[in-house]
Every structure is written in C-alpha cells, then in structure tokens.
Chains A and B, each alone.
Chain A
Amino acid sequence: MLIAAAAPFAPVDQEYLFEARQMQALSFAVHIPLVCFGIAFPAFVLFMEALWLRTGNPVYRTIARRWSKAMLALFAVGVVTGTILSFELGLLWPGFMATFADVFGLGFTLEAFSFFVEAIFIAIYVYGWDRLSARAHFLAGVPVVIAGFTGSLMVISVNAWMNNPSGFTFEDGRVTDVRPLAALFGNHHLWHELVHMYLAGYIVAGFLTAGVYALGWLRGRRGPYERVALVVPLTVAALASPVQIVVGDWAAREVAREQPTKLAALEGLQRTEEGAPVHLLGWYDGEEVRYGIPLPRLLSLLAFHDPNARVEGLEEVPPDERPPVNVVRVAFQTMVGIGLALAALSLVYLVVWLRRRRLPRSPWFYRAVAAAGPLSVVALIAGWITTEVGRQPWVVYGHMRTEDAVTGANGVPVGYASLLLVYAGLIAAVAWILRRLARAPVEIAGRPGGVAPVLAGAARPAEEEDRR
C-alpha cells in the first residue's frame, strides 16, 4: 500500500514521544494535587460550618469563611488545569482517541455534569455567605461534596478502563461491539482505584491544611482559631491514613490478578516463582534486584494470601512489553514508605487525643505534621506513577501501545516548553494568593481576644470586597 493511502489513524513516527509523555505526566502532576482540594476541602468547610451552626461559636464560622475563599481559588485553578488535560487527550493522543473514545468517552460526558454541579454550587456557597439563610447556605455546600466524589468516580472509571480494558471487541485494530456501561462501571479495577484516590484526596488536603497551622504553632500562633484549624483536617487525615494501607493492599491484590506484569515491575521480580519474596530498597539491574533486603515469600503472601503462590515474573512477556522497572519500583516503594510513616504519625496523634484529650506537646510532632503535607503529595504522585508508568508500554493495557496513540503533529517540544513556563507561573500565582489570603487578619466576631496578631502592612482586600 502507498504511504499516502495508509489508514487515517495508522501509527505515525513521532520523534518526540518522550516529550509528549512528559507533557501528559506534567499536566497530571499539576492537576491531581489541586483536585485533592476539590475532593476534600468542601467537606472540611462544611464540617466547620456545621460546628458553628450547632454551637454558635464564631471561631468555626470565621474558619469556614476564610477557607471557602481558598477553596474557590483552588477550584478555579483545578478547573483550568483539568481543561488542559482534556485538550491534551486530542492534542497528544489522537490515535488513542480515534480508536477508543467511543468506548470510554461516556465517562467524561457524565463527568461534565458533575463539574457543572460543582461549579454552580461552589459559587452559590461562596457568594452566598450572609446572603442566604444559614440553612440554605449549608445545604448549598452539600452538592459540592457529592460532586467531588462523582467527579472522581467518572474520571477514574476511564483510567481503570485503560488499565483493565473490557466492554468491547477488538479486531484488526478496530473496535466493535462496544458496551460503554460495562466498560466503565462493570470493571472491578475501578473500585480500588476510586477508594484509594478518594482517601488520598482527604489525606493530601488534610495534611497540607493542618501543616500550615502546625508551622504557625511552631512560630507561636496557638490561639483557638489556629488550634481548631489544625485539629479538624488533621483528624480526618489521621483516620484516613491507616485505612489507606488496607486499601493499598487491596489495590495490590487487584493488580496481581489483572496486571501481572505491573506487579512484577513493582517488585522487580524477574523469574516466575512460587513463594516469591519482596525486596526492600535496592535497584533492579535488568536481571534481578541488587542490594535490596529480601523478605522471603512475602510477595506471594501479600498478593495472593498464600506464601507459596506462584507469581509471574517479567520474563513472561517480551522485553519490549515491560514497563521501566526502576521508575515503577522506586515510585511504589516511595508511596508505601510514606504511607506507613503517615499512618504512624496518625496513630501518635489519635492515641494522645483518645487518652489525654489534648494535642501532643512536642515540637517534633508539629514538625512532622508540617512535613506530612508535602510528603503526602509525593505519595500521591508516586502512586500515579506506579499506576500509569506501570501500565507502559500500553496506553490501553494489552491493546494499544502508547507510541501508536501519539500525534503526528510537529512542535511537541515547543508545547512542552511553553507548558513548563505556564505551570511555573501558575504554581507561583497559587502560592502567592494562598499566602495573601492567609495573611489577612483574623477577625472573630464578638471576640476581640480572638484576633490574631495583625501583620504589619498585610493586605486585606478579600475582606474588604465582602463588605462592599
């Protein structure tokens, strides 16, 4: 066949596949931490408002109001970074979209409604402070929380489908017999990803928010406002972290069942073995894991609940169907390591609280909470690297390779470089606005003693805007 007559979406030669992948990964790495706030922050704000409605203590209301401003700013940035991701599906991966979008696209169509609900009610909530009745205002926040969940459900149904594709028949590069509902929601890979990501949202938003006030505590800002703002997100994150380990174990068992190659990459397991070990740390040299600490039979036990179970190694598939083992393995171990550390910190907090009814007093505790925020973001990204890079070289596991999905357009590196600049600006802008919002003096109605030290020259535009 002549080149010119090749099928319109036949694989193309893209010199810059690597840059295209990096561009996609970069965009996720920016979107996903923001999304954690879309998932969890509305619930934190509503919790504060509920406490205010029950007790009438103005501290809670002040926190809820101030947080809802940060929530709106983060939501705006989450929206636009998500938009970039949607564009990139077409800009970077037309081969994938042309072939498979009719199978999974429904997930995004339904997600659009979730976004509508979130955007509409977040606006009503934030602009409705003091302009709606207290009850109506609280109720306006509820759909935001629900939409944060359904939004995650829809987008993760797509990702789960890419990892464990079903609901269609694939012949000669053509998709037939599409069953979109079965593809998206009849796929049990969806459930562990959803629950694990949803909890991650609360962990990341919880520790990051608590971390801000832990830093404040270390600098001597320890009034009721700061203590409440520290304790509530910390409690949520501390309860979610230990549970995350149990859910992670479930995730690993699902991966073992559906994506044996990914599991082998997680552990650097070369040969198929019965009673396979886990190696802590170490480095995979293309043959085996070197310098690691072996824990015999643990992999078989964890993945199949049987110390002698047979675990498939990387050797089962040709080398060009294996993911980059070290990237996946290091990412996985980073996530698990951080996950265990977060759970340990959480237990310290919960035990001190349940036994003594107070916060721990050691500055080391507050330093640890301050570190837990950034660390949980690292775990989040590491988890997604595990899932997404562990799926490589496939974009649709077992059906389409990433290099067959990529665009034939020129200029990918230009796009990548521009996007790097844009995101650098975006991150700087977000950091700036959050600092600005945090610096506005805390004013708690009817409680002059509750006013935090006013920083000299600090801006207070946001407050002013409200009063007009």
Chain B
Amino acid sequence: MTLAEVPLVLMLVGLVAYAVLGGADFGAAFWQLAGRRDAGSKARREHAYRAMGPVWEANHVWLIFVLAICWTAYPKAFASIFSTLTVPFFIAAVGIVLRGTAYAVHAGTAREIERRTVDAVFSVSSILTPFALGTAVGGIASGRVPVGNARGDLVTSWVNPTSFAVGVLAVATGAYLAAVYLAGDAARAGRHDLTVSFRARALAAGAATGVMALAGLLVVSLDAETLRRGLLRWPAILPVVGSAAAGLATVELVRRSRFEAARYGASAAVAAIVVGWALAQRPELLPGLTVDEAAAGRPTLTATIVGVALGAVILVPSLALLFGLVLRGRFDREAAGPDAEKSGLPVAACPRPLLWTTLLTLAVGVPLTLIADGGPVLAVGVVALLAFVALGSIAVGSGAATVAAQDEDG
C-alpha cells in the first residue's frame, strides 16, 4: 500500500462505520413506515426512537469524516463526484435536514396528528437519504463520473441500473441492520413482545436483502462491465464471497436469537462488500484517474494521516464510553431522581479576590489589545479579555443567580 492509498483506507473505514451505524438509524425509521398502525406499532416506534436517541448524531459524523478526508486527500475526485452527482447528493442533503429536524421535534409531539406528520417526514426522509447516497455510489462504481467540473451527465450518472440496485440495497441493508439491533436492544431490555416482532422483521429483511444482493450482482454484470470484471477477479472475489457467507451466517444467528453475534456478523457482511468494491476498482478512483494521480501532495497526506491518528486517540475511548453505556442499558434504566438534597450552602454573593482578579484582567486586557500590534503582547491582552469574561461570569453570575433564586423579589 502506498502513502496515497492510506487516506482511502481511512475513508473506507468511515464508510463502513457510516453504513453499519448510520445505516441502521435510517433503517429504524423504515420500520415505522412499514406495517399497520396498531398497538404494537406504537411500542415499536417508541423503541426505535429511544434506541436511536443517544447515538444517531455521533453516527452521522462518520459521513462528515468521509467527506472531509475525501476532499483533503483527493480534491479532484471529490470535486468531480459532487459536481456530476449533484442531484442525488442534493436529495440526500435535503433528506438529512428533514430527518434531523423531524428527530429534533418528535419529543414535543403530543397530539396524534402531530405525531403522524413528524413520523411520516422522518420515515420518508430516512428512506430517501440512503437511497440517494446509494445511487451516487452506484454512479461512481459503474464509471459514470468523469474527471472534471460537472463533466458527467446530470441524470444518467445516477438514474441507471447499477445506481438503483445499490440504492435499493442500501435501504434494505439499513432495514435489516436496524431490525437486528432493535431486536437485540429489546431482548436486553427484557421486552419480549418487541424482541419477537423485530426478530421476525430481521428474518424477513435478511432474506430480502440476500435476494436483492444477488439481483444486484446480476444487474451490475449486465450494466457495468468493468465493475463486474473487477468484482469477480482475485482478490475482490474473496470479500464478495465472504460477504455472502457472513450474510447467511447472521440470518442463522438471528434465527437462534443470538442478536449480539448477529450484530457483528451483519456489520462484517457490509464491511466486506465495501472492501470488495474498493479492490474491484483498484487502482482507479474515477475512470482515467488512479488513486496516486488523484492524491494530494505528501505534506497534506501525512498531516491528514497523523491528524486522524491523533483524533482516534480521543475518538476511540469516547465512542467506547458511549456505546458501552448504551449497550449495557444504562440509558434504559429508570431515572433515579436527583441525588439527596445538598447541604444548602448558599453561594457567596461575590468573593472579593475573584472580583479583584476579574478587574485586573480587564485592566490588563483592554490596553494591551488596543495598543499591541501583534505578537505575544497582543496574545496576553486577548487572553486577559477572555479571562475577564469567564471570571466575571462566574463572579457576577453566581452572585446574581443567588439573589434571583431567593423567594422574595430581589
């Protein structure tokens, strides 16, 4: 692997994470649309919103991560892809906005009509977005994005058999993953009714996804000659077969209600297919543009790789903490109510030393910032000003809050 390929690997990791985690968030909404409105559907809806709540924003960031690495490391490829595939990306962006907004407001819905409207927007946008992103991937994979500013066809670059096959597969995979996760969450929370109903959905979706994947391969082999040859060639064939095997295995795991294992199996199946795609295209990123040609210069690549490595040092434990809390069911627990009453120590109105320090930072900050023409003197001035705002907020804010909190009018 060359230096130029490392960011691509990082992008693929991000893409898999987005497909597996973000995809499941989209899929959870799918199940709200599918099916009748009955007592069970309300419980399923609540379960899905609740499961998604703490994680969907973090899961969404994987998309930003992939984009940012793409444009930093392969600027020409990024610009070509977005300018040609303008329509599906715009649809996806609108879908993301509608979905996020619907999520933000769902907690406030009270009446049935409000709930229905919000759910409808949420579900439709949750299907539209992965479908649109899938068609874009299909357009890239089938070689329909030439290098250049909007050089490809605005319509046929994403309205074509491969794009639609990938789009449908993206929606189906998300629905399958979601059903598996939700069944697992329900089992953990001891909700037998929900476990049964999501298990049934997972089995149905698993079968459907398998059939669609096979149909997709057929479509690709008719529509995209190069991609087919790539996929059936060594070494891409290996992950393709692996993905099929992992897919079959997870369906069996779901059948046995081994949801945790199925969670990882399903993720592996998705990861394998993404890897297969990358290997099939190697060494080209876009037709006539190899990864090496598309890559930014050495300093940019090195800085990106080092930056991601340093970021990972923070990210990995943070994600582990969040998913640990979620998967151990900490957020499902009955809220404990506030801790016992505190000693009732009233905040001192305004401690003198704090007040004097605050005034000192002001006296230092203003003249230095006004007079200095740069350099360390200016830096001291600006830091003093920021310290003034922070310390002053603590000093005056806590004093004012104490007075304001007293029952009689202050």
**Are B75 and A79 neighbours in the complex by a CB distance under 8 Å?**
no
| A272 interfacial contact with B, CB 8 Å | no
Q: Which of B319, B345, B400 contacts A55 (CB 8 A)?
A: B345
Once the chains are docked, how many angstroms separate the CA of A305 from the CA of B339? 57
In the complex, per-residue mask of A32-59: 1 if CB is within 8 Å of any chain B CB, else 0:
0000000000000001000111111111
**Are B389 and A240 neighbours in the complex by a CB distance under 8 Å?**
yes
Residue of A nearest to B76 (CB): A98
Q: Which of A313-368 contact B (CB under 8 A)?
A: 350, 353-354, 357-359
Q: Which of A123, A350, A407, A446 contacts B396 (CB 8 A)?
A: A350
Chain B residues, CB < 8 A from A98: 75-76, 78-80, 149
Most chain B CB atoms below 10 A, which of A88, A89, A106, A222: A106
**Are B407 and A195 neighbours in the complex by a CB distance under 8 Å?**
no
**Are A8 and B76 neighbours in the complex by a CB distance under 8 Å?**
yes
Residue of B nearest to A446 (CB): B341
Most chain B CB atoms below 10 A, which of A9, A120, A433: A120
Chain A residues, CB < 8 A from B65: 109, 112, 116
**Are A80 and B319 neighbours in the complex by a CB distance under 8 Å?**
no
Residue of A nearest to B55 (CB): A123
**Are A231 and B304 neighbours in the complex by a CB distance under 8 Å?**
no
Chain B residues, CB < 8 A from A10: 149
Q: Which of A180, A353, A415, A419 contacts B400 (CB 8 A)?
A: A353
Q: Which of A95, A232, A411 contacts B79 (CB 8 A)?
A: A95
Binding stretch for chain A, among B89-97, B160-168, B179-187, B277-285: B89-97
Chain A residues, CB < 8 A from B373: 253, 305
**Are A116 and B330 neighbours in the complex by a CB distance under 8 Å?**
no
**Are B331 and A83 neighbours in the complex by a CB distance under 8 Å?**
no
The DSSP consensus for interface residues of chain B is helix
| B347 interfacial contact with A, CB 8 Å | yes
Chain B residues, CB < 8 A from A467: 335
Residue of B nearest to A58 (CB): B338
**Are B60 and A97 neighbours in the complex by a CB distance under 8 Å?**
no
**Are A130 and B90 neighbours in the complex by a CB distance under 8 Å?**
no
Chain B residues, CB < 8 A from A61: 338
Q: For chain B, give the interface size range.
A: 35 or more
Residue of A nearest to B64 (CB): A112
Once the chains are docked, how many angstroms separate the CA of A123 from the CA of B55? 7
Once the chains are docked, how many angstroms separate the CA of A459 from the CA of B109? 8
**Known A12-B149, A73-B107, A131-B336; contact A87-B83, beta-carbon cutoff 8 A:** no
| B41 interfacial contact with A, CB 8 Å | no
**Known A178-B300, A350-B396, A407-B150; contact A83-B93, beta-carbon cutoff 8 A:** yes
Once the chains are docked, how many angstroms separate the CA of A143 from the CA of B311? 14
Once the chains are docked, how many angstroms separate the CA of A87 from the CA of B402? 46
- Least distance between A93 CB and chain B CB atoms (Å): 8
The DSSP consensus for interface residues of chain A is helix
Q: Which of B370-384 contact A (CB under 8 A)?
A: 370-371, 373-374, 378-379, 382
Binding stretch for chain B, among A242-250, A274-282, A288-296, A384-392: A242-250
Binding stretch for chain B, among A261-269, A394-402, A421-429: A421-429
Chain A residues, CB < 8 A from B345: 54-56
**Known A87-B82, A422-B94, A430-B104; contact A124-B388, beta-carbon cutoff 8 A:** no
| A99 interfacial contact with B, CB 8 Å | yes
Q: Which of A89, A123, A354, A418 contacts B57 (CB 8 A)?
A: A123
Chain A residues, CB < 8 A from B398: 51
**Are A73 and B410 neighbours in the complex by a CB distance under 8 Å?**
no
In the complex, per-residue mask of B285-310: 1 if CB is within 8 Å of any chain A CB, else 0:
00000000000110110011001100
Chain B residues, CB < 8 A from A247: 369, 382, 385
Once the chains are docked, how many angstroms separate the CA of A178 from the CA of B300? 7
Once the chains are docked, how many angstroms separate the CA of A188 from the CA of B379? 11
In the complex, per-residue mask of B83-106: 1 if CB is within 8 Å of any chain A CB, else 0:
110110110111011111111110
| B226 interfacial contact with A, CB 8 Å | no
**Are B83 and A90 neighbours in the complex by a CB distance under 8 Å?**
yes
- Least distance between A311 CB and chain B CB atoms (Å): 16
**Are A120 and B79 neighbours in the complex by a CB distance under 8 Å?**
no
Most chain B CB atoms below 10 A, which of A9, A84, A247: A9
Once the chains are docked, how many angstroms separate the CA of A436 from the CA of B78? 41
Once the chains are docked, how many angstroms separate the CA of A89 from the CA of B68? 11
Once the chains are docked, how many angstroms separate the CA of A188 from the CA of B375? 10
- Least distance between B319 CB and chain A CB atoms (Å): 7
Q: Which of B93, B300, B337, B366 contacts A105 (CB 8 A)?
A: B300
Residue of B nearest to A437 (CB): B108
**Known A51-B401, A98-B76; contact A449-B82, beta-carbon cutoff 8 A:** no
Q: Which of B82, B102, B147, B374 contacts A91 (CB 8 A)?
A: B82
Q: Which of B76, B101, B325, B392 contacts A425 (CB 8 A)?
A: B101
- Least distance between A149 CB and chain B CB atoms (Å): 10
| A451 interfacial contact with B, CB 8 Å | no
Residue of B nearest to A240 (CB): B389
| B202 interfacial contact with A, CB 8 Å | no
| A16 interfacial contact with B, CB 8 Å | no
Chain A residues, CB < 8 A from B94: 418-419, 422
| B404 interfacial contact with A, CB 8 Å | yes
| A371 interfacial contact with B, CB 8 Å | no
- Least distance between B277 CB and chain A CB atoms (Å): 21
- Least distance between A65 CB and chain B CB atoms (Å): 9
Beyond the given A79-B60, A115-B64, A119-B60, please list 6 additional residue pairs across the A-B interface where CB-CB is below 8 A. Answer: A8-B149, A113-B314, A116-B65, A130-B338, A407-B86, A462-B108
Q: What are 12 inter-chain pairs, A to B, with CB distance below 8 A? A: A56-B341, A87-B67, A90-B82, A102-B72, A110-B311, A116-B58, A117-B315, A119-B61, A120-B318, A131-B330, A143-B318, A235-B400
Q: Using a CB–CB distance below 8 Å, which chain B residues touch chain A? A: 53-55, 57-58, 60-61, 63-65, 67-69, 71-73, 75-76, 78-84, 86-87, 89-90, 92-94, 96-105, 107-110, 147-151, 154, 296-297, 299-300, 303-304, 307-308, 311, 314-315, 318-319, 321-322, 325, 330-331, 333, 335-339, 341-347, 349, 365-366, 369-371, 373-374, 378-379, 382, 385-386, 388-389, 392-394, 396-407, 409-410
